[in-house]
């Protein structure tokens, strides 16, 4: 109508009293007339009756299904009542009167409402609080509103209006009260093939209308197909969309079903090129999802995806179940991606062949093999209903003839009679050929589908095997770094097999390089000495005659044996055997070196025997300790540390000990003028944490002395026991004379124990270091290192799997070893406490001893009676370069981490093929072959800026900066003496060479800038360019010499900048708080280190890091890429005390870490790529072998 309706017509419109033709005309006019809408507002103004919020329309189950489609909520029943939460106050949306809540789902609440102006019932959908908080849910809600609002089609639920009120989006849509298709199926409703084809054809019309608007539904399933019983009862016209024009071609049909389908719930639809979901995100319902959805391939989702969904609906209508059902959602998704569905005819034999063919074409795995559009599917379904040939399968000759006969019975009968007599044979042959060709095509299609499935399954298998290989790789590295190198190498072999099966050639190469690196760290048995003999476990061992002879003995008796270390006797017997002086108590408590290369043996009988190991001749034998209680532990003063004389100490089972003067052959006097000393501390005791039972209210009874040894210069004695821990004693006096007071001020009585070390439990083994300033203590579950002069706490403590049974120091005192009752042997760095190596044996280890003549070796004696020499990977560095002054003084452990003068930066000297080290106090050049060093030393009151020291690639020039000076120095090293040129430049904090002749400086402070310089023989250097930059945290030149990689404080970007202009060139990398950067000499990678402990490797010229990021336990201070044979290797230096190597292609670690006692500040490769030098905070630089590149 063109004129506005009267007020009476508007009132009749509100009361639904207009005739049907007038009602439709007035509604259409009001929808587009603002004046009439205002008039309706006035007519409906005033309070309106509103039902209680908790009331639910019993006919609204279809909308509950729409709410539940994506994320069903427990407690939302079939009647639509919300059971778990209290009713929510209805929204106050202008123009609508909310009559009650219909239901709710994961993201929205649906209300039944009345539109005031049009007086029609609508479904009003709004977001919940949770939906508002989730940006993804809000986006999908708005997509549904915008998408469906564009559609006007009889088979699509119409949206009347959508908008936002009070910050909450809402959607007003057509109210449909006939339920949904899923409810009909669940109620046992069976659809005939004809009804199923009609329903799906009509549904496809609605989906085609959506496709014409560029909308992909992505979640077609029975619960999203609403059924309009009223409209279906009146009959309808099936319409087909023309995507090009947007019009619909009517094809009238008398429906077999009174139900008309309507497509609903576009909540996860994709409109045009919008991508709400991320790549790889899976949205939809598993049983009805297309394979590309189930596999997370969102870029392949299109119209064919909805065709697959229509096929699943058709399949369920024909068979009563979806194509795929699994025990779990993951199982269902796996079947959707990798399995072929059974045909509908195989499940329900009554399904027509054409309908079976149409359904299976919809369910093809490849989108390209399905119907290209929903229109094509609808057309084929109607062709089947009309008895025409379908596109999915050309009709056979006899089928076409039968259909023609049904449409034209009289002419067809005559034609059939003629054809039967004249062309029967030809038709039969032609049909046979067609069927044979169709069978071949079917076989080919099945073969191709099988190949696709096999390829997908192989890809999935490879991904799983690669994941297993990466997990096993991490486990292998952990085993090797924990000391179980043999077990780790076995695990690496398994990793290689998994990686080869997965086709991961890069991981195979990394594994091979790790095996080569760790193989050098596998402990190896060098030589066996004592054969196994459980009756004579080896509990004591000593190398004599400058390491040429090995002496072994046992606490359980048997002879003391002497073995040659080099060579072997033909009969594998010892060179000498020494019998016990007392056969009743033949056990040897300890073996000790004596002056003149002789050996001292202390027996449990109390005998002290001194003899020549080379000849087996006994020099003297004394029954020094003729005691009722057997001797359990013994100690002796070391040759050269005998201020109190040659003393032998014996600890007994009764908790006492005696001291024997071997020169005077007499006891030393204890308290009360007796030679008996108790292992007991009479002062305030440390807290002892010994286990005690409920029946032990008092202190533990005195136990045996388990270990005893001399400290310092023989004027101090340490005893250990199961009670009272470790006690430090001053030396008593001999009967015939007095010795000096060991305490400097002489205030403490030397006969009284004057310190108890707090070890917190029983101590079973104790050993003093070669310098006699430290001692190792082994307890029930730990080993700790203490210094005699600093007694408050240990220098370090490490756990042990079982009770400690043996301890040893290397002759130089740099490495120590501990063993336990479970057969575990561990080696430690004495100064830092870092773990060095581990061996595992099946039986308890009872003796350890480092040889003096064989580096990196350890003698191990076990309870089985066997003894063997093992080679250990204890010191991997090639050389050590101390900065001056030397950081460690004699007899004292210096905590050097707090001394900034000892922080070392180091590199290689290409000109003389040596190394250089820089500290704030000096720049040292180390020539090879121990040639004299050259040093550049500032004045006493000045200090070098260590980060500003750099050496040119050819080694001819060095740059250095003295803190506080407005200059930097160019040092020409080509002459007999170093020539200095001071160049004006204030605030220089960093320097670096771009080429042999060009370099850069970075200044901070008032003159913050980047300077580009060129070497000049007369001036030292000439500035070529400068540009402002402040807060530089790292800088690394590109190998082309034209750009530099810079990180700046406060920025999350590390970018390449042109050295002449400062403009960004090439890629930039995101890495917050960058601390270090490096560029591969071949220009293939860049690396950055920053916040946290992570390192990122960036393949150039891209801006995405490799899959795995190298990781340290503390800040990363320096990075370097290898060259030559170590090309493709990244080296990192960290404050966690390690430097590590990594494969630049994959980010995997290569070989063992390079351990240091303090933070590692710098790392660099030599030009040949064969060595690496690291600078440590402890004042040393170390040279290491570099790993080689992948084979």
Asked whether residue 791 falls in the same domain as residue 707, the answer is yes
What does the alpha-carbon distance between residue 98 and residue 125 come to, in Å, rounded to a whole number? 11
Range with the largest mean pLDDT of 11-20, 283-292, 864-873, 1037-1046: 1037-1046
- The answer to whether residues 902 and 1037 belong to one domain is yes
Q: Which of 57, 97, 205, 219 is catalytic?
A: 219
Percent of the chain with pLDDT over 90: 37
- What six digits make up the tokens of 747? 């205030």
Task: Tell me the CB-side half-sphere exposure of residue 337, using CA atoms within 13 A.
Answer: 20
Min mean pLDDT across 483-487, 595-599, 729-733 is at 729-733
Rounded to whole angstroms, the Cα distance separating 1071 from 1074 reads 6
Write out pLDDT tens, residues 447-469: 888 888 888 887 777 778 888 88
Q: Which of 83, 198, 209, 109 is nearest to 157 (CA)?
A: 209
Q: In terms of domains, do 80 and 90 share one?
A: yes
Look at the block and give the residue holding tokens 């003999």.
533
Q: Is the pLDDT of residue 1033 over 90?
A: yes
Is 222 part of a structural domain of the chain? yes
The token pair that represents 97 in the structure block: 């009167």
Cβ neighbors of 597 (< 8 A, separation 6 or more) are 544, 545, 546, 612, 613, 614
- 108 — phi, psi (to 5°)? -145, 165
Q: What Å distances lie between residue 10 and 28, 42, 161, 1027, CA to CA?
A: 13, 11, 21, 77
Counting every residue written for the chain, the total comes to: 1191
Kindly state the average pLDDT of the residues 1027-1052: 93
Answer yes or no: is pLDDT of 344 > 80.
yes
Q: How far apart are the first and last CA of the chain?
A: 86
Tokens representing 964?
A: 């506080």
Q: Is residue 25 part of a domain?
A: no
User: 1: pLDDT confidence band, cut at 50, 70 and 90?
Assistant: low
Residue 854 has pLDDT above 70, yes or no: yes
Cβ(391)–Cβ(380) under 8 Å? Answer: yes
Query: How far does CA 525 lie from the centroid of its chain?
Result: 36
Residue with tokens 């004045």: 939
| Whether residue 260 is found in the same domain as residue 344 | yes
pLDDT tens-place string over residues 971-1021: 998 888 888 899 999 999 999 999 999 999 999 988 899 999 999 988 899
pLDDT tens-place string over residues 1100-1137: 988 789 888 888 889 999 999 999 889 999 999 999 88
Sign of CA dihedral 991, 992, 998, 1002: negative
Exposed (0-12), middle (13-18) or buried (19+): which is 1070, by Cβ within 10 Å? middle
Q: Is 1083 left (phi over 0), alpha (psi -120 to 50) or beta?
A: left
Confidence of residue 74 (pLDDT cuts 50, 70, 90): very low
Q: Name the token pair of 274.
A: 């919008």
Pair 869, 857: CB distance under 8 Å: yes
Q: Which 3 state secondary structure label does DSSP give 846?
A: strand
* Nearby residues of 367 by Cβ (< 8 Å), 6 or more positions away: 290, 292, 300, 302, 304, 305, 308
Asked if residue 708 lies in contact with residue 657, where contact means CB atoms within 8 angstroms, the answer is yes
554 within some domain: yes
| Any domain includes 34 | no
Helix (H, G, I), strand (E, B) or coil at 686: coil
Beta bridge partners of 1162: 1175
> For residue 29, is it within any domain?
no
Q: What is the pLDDT of residue 675?
A: 83
- Structural domain includes residue 15: no
Which residue reads 């609403």 in tokens? 226
Per residue in 156-199, pLDDT (tens digit) is 988 888 888 877 888 888 888 788 899 899 988 889 999 999 99
Cα separation, 897 vs 131, in Å, equals 55
Residue 1067 burial (CB count, 10 A): 17
Say if residue 1084 is in the same domain as residue 1180. yes
SS3 state of residue 996? coil
What is the pLDDT confidence band of residue 642, given thresholds at 50, 70 and 90? low
Decide if 849 is inside a domain: yes
Which CATH number do you get for residue 704?
A: 2.130.10.10
| In contact, 593 and 599? CB cutoff 8 Å | yes
Q: What is the spatial order of strands in the sheet that 1064-1070 belongs to?
A: 1032-1037, 1043-1048, 1053-1058, 1064-1070
Between 552 and 71, name the one with better pLDDT.
Answer: 552
pLDDT above 50: residue 509: yes
Q: Are residues 352 and 337 in the same domain?
A: yes
Q: How far apart are CA 1055 and CA 1034, in angstroms?
A: 11
Residue 334 has pLDDT above 50, yes or no: yes
> 1033 near 1047, Cβ under 8 Å?
yes
Tell me: do 602 and 537 sit in the same domain: yes
Distances (CA, A) of 13 to 22, 40, 380: 9, 10, 43
The rounded distance, in Å, linking the Cα atoms of 685 and 769 is 25
Rounded to an integer, the average pLDDT of 577-592 is 92
Specify the number of domains making up the chain.
Answer: 6
Cα 826 from Cα 784, distance rounded (Å):
12
Distance CA 288, CA 1151 (A): 50
In angstroms, the CA 689 to CA 700 distance is: 11
Contacts for 435 with CB less than 8 Å, ≥ 6 apart: 396
Residues 774, 911 within the same domain: no
Distance CA 1037, CA 1077 (A): 9
Q: Is the pLDDT of residue 21 over 80?
A: no
CA proximity to 847, closest of 537, 1182, 1156, 495:
537
Contact indicator for 727, 736 with CB cutoff of 8 Å: no
How far is it, in rounded angstroms, from Cα 769 to Cα 828?
Answer: 13
Q: Are residues 1133 and 1020 in the same domain?
A: no
Q: What pLDDT is stored for residue 739 in this prediction? A: 42
Residue 494 sits in the same domain as residue 609? no
Give the model confidence (pLDDT) of 87-102 as tens digits.
556 788 888 888 888 7
Examine the pLDDT at 791 and tell me if it is beyond 70. no
Residues 1167 and 1054 occupy one common structural domain? yes
With cut-offs at 50, 70 and 90, classify the pLDDT of residue 46.
very low
Is the pLDDT at 422 greater than 80, yes or no? no
Beta-bridge partners for 181: none
Joined tokens for residue 909 = 């000297």
pLDDT given for residue 235 in this prediction: 42
The mean predicted confidence, pLDDT, of the chain is 81
- Name the domain boundary from 344, 361, 395: 395
Phi and psi torsions of 1126, nearest 5°: -105, 25
User: Which H helix or E strand runs over 142?
Assistant: helix 135-149
34 has a pLDDT exceeding 70: no
Farthest CA pair distance, the chain:
148
Q: Give residue 245's pLDDT.
A: 34
Last residue of a domain, one of 369, 395, 421: 395
pLDDT at 321: 93
909 catalytically annotated: no
What span, in angstroms and rounded, lies between the C-alpha atoms of 813 and 770? 6
Are 460 and 562 members of one domain? no
Identify whether 949 is part of a domain: yes
d(CA 227, CA 887): 88
| Whole-number pLDDT of residue 789 | 75
Rounded to two decimals, what is the model's pTM?
0.55
**Whole-number pLDDT of residue 94:** 86
pLDDT band for position 502 (50/70/90)? confident
Assign residue 312 a region (left: φ > 0; alpha: ψ between -120 and 50; beta: otherwise): alpha
Residues facing 782 on adjacent strands: 799
List the structure tokens of 1007. Answer: 């003159």
pLDDT reported for residue 75: 34
pLDDT at residue 1161 greater than cutoff 80: yes
Decide which of 821, 837, 871 is a domain's last residue.
871
Instruction: For residues 26-54, give the mean pLDDT.
Output: 56
pLDDT of residue 671: 63
pLDDT tens sequence across 907-949: 998 888 889 999 888 888 888 876 667 888 887 678 888 889 9
The Cα–Cα gap between 308 and 290 comes to 6
Q: Is the dihedral of CA 1102, 1103, 1105, 1110 positive or negative?
A: positive
Task: Say whether pLDDT at 353 is over 70.
Answer: yes
Task: Determine which of 28-42, 423-437, 474-488, 1149-1163 has the lowest per-residue pLDDT on average.
Answer: 28-42
User: What pLDDT is recorded for position 106?
Assistant: 57
Torsion-angle region of 968 (φ positive above 0: left; ψ -120 to 50: alpha; else: beta): beta
pLDDT at 81: 33
CATH number of residue 309's parent domain: 1.10.510.10
Asked whether the predicted pLDDT for residue 742 surpasses 60, the reply is no
Domain that holds residue 494: 399-521
Supply the DSSP string of 353-388, one letter for each residue. Answer: HHHHHHHHHHT-SSGGGS-SSHHHHHHHHHHHHHTP
Query: Which residue do the tokens 């329309």 mark?
Result: 57
């Amino acid at each position: 109508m063109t004129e506005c309706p009267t007020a009476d017509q508007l009132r009749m419109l509100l009361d639904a009293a207009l005739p049907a033709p007038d009602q439709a005309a007035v509604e259409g006019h009001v929808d587009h007339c603002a004046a009439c809408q205002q008039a309706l507002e006035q007519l409906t103004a005033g309070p309106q009756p509103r039902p209680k919020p908790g009331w639910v329309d019993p006919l609204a189950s279809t909308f509950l299904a729409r709410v539940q489609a994506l994320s069903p909520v427990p407690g939302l029943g079939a009647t639509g009542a919300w059971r778990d939460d209290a009713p929510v106050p209805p929204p106050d949306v202008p123009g609508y009167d909310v009559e009650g809540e219909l239901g709710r789902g994961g993201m929205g609440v649906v209300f039944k409402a009345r539109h005031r102006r049009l007086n029609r019932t609508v479904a009003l959908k709004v977001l919940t609080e949770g939906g508002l908080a989730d940006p993804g849910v809000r986006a999908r809600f708005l997509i549904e509103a915008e998408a469906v609002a564009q559609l006007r089609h009889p088979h699509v639920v119409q949206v009347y209006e959508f908008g936002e009120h009070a910050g909450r989006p809402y959607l007003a849509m057509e109210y449909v009260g006939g339920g949904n298709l899923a409810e009909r199926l669940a109620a046992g409703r069976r659809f005939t093939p004809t009804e199923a084809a009609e329903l799906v054809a009509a549904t496809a019309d609605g989906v085609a209308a959506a496709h014409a608007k560029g909308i992909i539904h992505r979640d077609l399933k029975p619960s999203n197909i609403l059924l309009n019983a009223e409209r279906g009862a009146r009959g309808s016209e099936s319409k087909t969309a023309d995507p090009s024009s947007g019009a619909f071609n009517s094809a009238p049909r008398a429906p077999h079903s009174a139900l008309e389908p309507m497509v609903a719930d576009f909540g996860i639809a994709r409109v045009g090129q919008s991508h709400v979901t991320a790549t790889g995100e899976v949205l939809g319902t598993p049983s009805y999802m297309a394979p590309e959805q189930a596999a997370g391939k969102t870029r392949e989702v299109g119209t064919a995806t909805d065709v697959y969904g229509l096929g699943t609906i058709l399949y369920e209508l024909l068979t009563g179940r979806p194509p795929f059902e699994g025990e779990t959602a993951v199982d269902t998704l796996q079947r959707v991606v990798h399995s072929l569905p059974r045909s509908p005819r195989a499940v329900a034999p009554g399904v027509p062949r054409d309908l079976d063919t149409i359904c299976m074409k919809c369910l093809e795995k490849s989108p390209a093999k399905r119907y290209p559009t929903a229109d094509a599917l609808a057309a084929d379904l109607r062709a089947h209903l009309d008895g025409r040939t379908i596109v999915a399968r050309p009709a056979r000759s006899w089928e076409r003839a039968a259909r023609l006969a049904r449409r034209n019975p009289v002419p067809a009968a005559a034609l059939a009679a003629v054809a039967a007599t004249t062309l029967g044979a030809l038709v039969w042959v032609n049909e046979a050929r067609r069927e044979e060709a169709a069978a071949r095509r079917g076989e080919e299609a099945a073969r191709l589908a099988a190949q696709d499935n096999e390829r997908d399954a192989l890809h999935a298998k490879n991904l799983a095997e690669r994941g297993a290989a990466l997990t096993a790789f991490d486990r292998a590295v952990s085993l090797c770094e924990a000391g179980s190198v043999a077990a780790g190498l076995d695990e690496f072999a398994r990793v290689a097999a998994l990686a080869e099966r997965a086709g991961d050639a890069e991981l195979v190469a990394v594994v091979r390089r790790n095996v080569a690196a760790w193989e050098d760290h596998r402990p190896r048995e060098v030589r066996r000495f004592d054969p196994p003999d459980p009756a004579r476990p080896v509990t004591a061992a000593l190398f004599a005659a400058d390491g040429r002879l090995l002496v072994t003995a046992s606490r359980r008796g048997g002879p003391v044996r002497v073995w040659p270390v080099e060579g072997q006797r033909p009969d594998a017997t010892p060179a000498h055997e020494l019998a016990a002086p007392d056969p009743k108590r033949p056990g040897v408590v300890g073996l000790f070196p004596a002056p003149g290369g002789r050996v001292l043996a202390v027996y449990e009988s109390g005998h002290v025997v001194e003899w020549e190991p080379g000849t087996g001749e006994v020099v003297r034998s004394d029954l020094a300790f003729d005691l009722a209680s057997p001797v359990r532990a013994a100690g002796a003063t070391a040759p050269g540390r005998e201020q109190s004389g040659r003393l032998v100490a014996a600890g007994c089972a009764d908790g006492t000990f005696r001291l024997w003067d071997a020169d005077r052959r007499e006891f030393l006097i204890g308290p009360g003028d007796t030679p008996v000393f108790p292992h007991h501390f009479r002062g305030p005791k440390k807290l002892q944490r010994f286990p005690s039972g409920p029946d032990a209210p008092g202190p533990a009874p005195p136990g045996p002395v388990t270990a005893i040894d001399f400290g310092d210069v023989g004027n101090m004695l340490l005893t250990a026991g199961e009670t009272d821990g470790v006690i430090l004693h001053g030396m008593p006096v001999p009967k015939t004379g007095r010795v000096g007071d060991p305490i400097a001020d002489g205030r403490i009585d030397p006969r009284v124990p004057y310190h108890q070390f707090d070890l917190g439990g029983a101590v079973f083994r104790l050993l003093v270091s070669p310098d006699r300033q430290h001692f190792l203590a082994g307890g029930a579950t730990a080993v700790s290192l203490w210094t005699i002069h600093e007694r408050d706490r240990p220098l370090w403590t490490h756990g042990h799997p079982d009770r400690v049974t043996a301890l040893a120091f290397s002759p130089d005192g740099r490495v120590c070893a501990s063993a336990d009752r479970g057969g575990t042997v561990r080696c430690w760095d004495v100064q830092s406490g870092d773990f060095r190596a581990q061996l595992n044996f099946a039986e308890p280890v009872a003796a350890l001893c480092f040889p003096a003549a064989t580096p990196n070796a350890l003698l191990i004696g076990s309870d089985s009676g066997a003894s063997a020499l093992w080679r250990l990977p204890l010191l991997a560095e090639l050389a050590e370069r101390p900065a001056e002054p030397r950081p460690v003084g004699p007899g004292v452990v210096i905590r050097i981490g707090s001394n900034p003068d000892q922080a070392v930066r180091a590199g290689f000297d290409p000109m003389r093929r040596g190394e250089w080290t820089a500290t704030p106090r000096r720049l040292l050049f180390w020539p090879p072959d121990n040639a004299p060093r050259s040093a550049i030393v500032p004045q006493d009151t000045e200090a070098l800026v260590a980060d500003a020291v750099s050496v040119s690639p050819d080694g001819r020039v060095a740059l250095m900066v003295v803190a506080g000076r407005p200059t930097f120095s160019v040092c020409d090293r080509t002459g007999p003496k170093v020539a200095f040129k001071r160049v004006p430049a204030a605030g220089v904090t960093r320097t670096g060479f771009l080429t042999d002749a060009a370099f850069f400086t970075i200044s901070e402070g008032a003159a913050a800038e980047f300077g580009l310089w060129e070497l000049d023989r007369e001036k030292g250097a000439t500035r070529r360019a400068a540009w402002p930059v402040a807060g530089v945290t790292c800088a690394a030149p590109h190998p082309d010499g034209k750009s530099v990689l810079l990180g700046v404080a406060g920025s999350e970007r590390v970018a390449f900048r042109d050295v002449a202009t400062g403009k960004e060139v090439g890629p930039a990398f995101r890495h917050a708080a960058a601390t270090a950067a490096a560029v591969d000499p071949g220009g293939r990678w860049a690396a950055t280190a920053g916040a946290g402990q992570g390192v990122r490797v960036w393949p150039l010229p891209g801006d995405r890091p490799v899959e795995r990021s190298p990781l340290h336990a503390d800040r990363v201070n320096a990075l370097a890429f290898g060259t030559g044979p170590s090309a493709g290797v990244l080296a990192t230096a960290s404050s966690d005390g390690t430097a590590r190597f990594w494969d630049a292609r994959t980010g995997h670690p290569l070989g063992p870490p390079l351990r240091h006692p303090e933070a590692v500040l710098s790392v660099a490769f030599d030009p040949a790529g064969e060595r690496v030098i690291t600078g440590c905070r402890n004042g040393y630089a170390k040279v290491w072998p570099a790993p080689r590149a992948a084979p």
